[in-house]
Amino acid sequence: MGSNDIPPAHVPAHVVSMCNLFLMIGGGLWTLSYTLYVRESFKTRSYGMPLFALALNFAWEVVYGFYVAESPLEKSVFILWLIIDCGMIYGMMKYARNEWSHAPTVGRRIVEIFIVMMIGATLGHYTFAKWWIENDINKREGKFYRGVIGPDTSELGFWSGCICQVYLSTASLCQLIIRRHSGGVSWPIW
C-alpha cells in the first residue's frame, strides 16, 4: 500500500529510501514475531496471541492482501503473513482448551467462537476499507490507487493496523495477568 505513490517535489529522495528501509525492517521483524508465536505455541502447548487479536490480525491480512493491496510484493507479504497466521490459529485450536479449563463450555466451543470472531473482524475490516476507498478518503496528488489519483491506502493501513496493534498489546498484557503464565509467548516476541 503506497508503493505506487509519487512523493511531492519538495520531499528529498532519501526520505523515500529511508521509509522503504524502515518498512522492510518492520516487516521482517513482524514476520519473525509471527514465526516465534507459532514456535512458542508448540513449545509451551499454549497459544500466545489473544483470540480476538488473532481474529483481527487474520482478517486484516485477508482484507489487505486480497482487496486493498495492489502490487505483487505487497500481496505476497500479506499472503506470507496469512500463511504464518494459519500456524498460530492451528496452535490456538490445538491448545486453547487447556487455557480455558476454568470455563469448559468456552474450551469446548473455542473453534466456533473463533470463527465467529474472524467473520466479524473480516466484515469490519472490509467495511472500513471499502468505505475509505469508495469515498476517496485523503485523496491527494501523488497517491495512486488502481491507476488513478485516489485514496491514501497507506494511511488506511496505518489507522486500521494501529487499532489492531493497540488491541493486541493491551489484550496480551491482560492475557498474561489473567493466565498467570507466559505460555505461547517469549521475550523475543515482546
Per-residue pLDDT of the chain (190 residues; tens, 9 = 90+): 556 667 667 778 787 778 778 888 988 888 998 898 888 888 888 888 889 999 999 999 999 999 998 888 888 888 999 999 999 899 989 888 888 888 889 888 999 999 999 999 999 999 999 999 898 877 777 666 766 777 888 888 889 999 999 998 898 888 888 877 776 666 666 6
pTM: 0.84
Q: For residue 149, what are the β-bridge partners?
A: 144
CA-CA-CA-CA dihedral for 90, 92, 94, 97, to nearest 10? -160
AA identity, residue 73: L
Contact 6, 142 (CB under 8 A): yes
Environment class of residue 33 by beta-carbon count within 10 Å: exposed (0-12), middle (13-18) or buried (19+)? middle
